[in-house]
Structure 1
């Protein structure tokens, strides 16, 4: 898609594209893996769109796969920052 701009250089046709993308991922299966409240889900969808086409398409087509990868890459308790906490 080509973004149209006005004389001041402001994008004039971007809102409908973003709105469509937000709507397309407004699904229960995606909400389940993003966790959080309804407001949190709105913010999560905006974040997904902002991360770009590749991430958006991965979430749109395989939401559980993105969540599983995120869980695997999450640091374990006591190992944050590469060191373990010992009592």
Structure 2
């Protein structure tokens, strides 16, 4: 069986050279990588096509693909700081 790799080469041997990022296992680890809640991860999967899914009943995702998705969807990689309204300058 032949596969097309990311560099466009079509051969079984070159398919072995395709590199992926580190695998993340579990909603907690995926949420930590995205700096969001586990509930947000589920919402991103359902509504925005976050590249994560279940394998054998366990959530997993490729970290490199998550970063690509994050850049494409302009999801901040850092948590937004909370500022109390009574501390804003007047």
- Fold-level similarity (TM above 0.5): no
TM-score, normalized by length of structure 1?
0.28
TM-score, normalized by length of structure 2?
0.28
Q: Larger relative contact order (C-alpha < 8 A, sep ≥ 6)? A: 2
Name whichever structure is richer in helix by fraction. 1
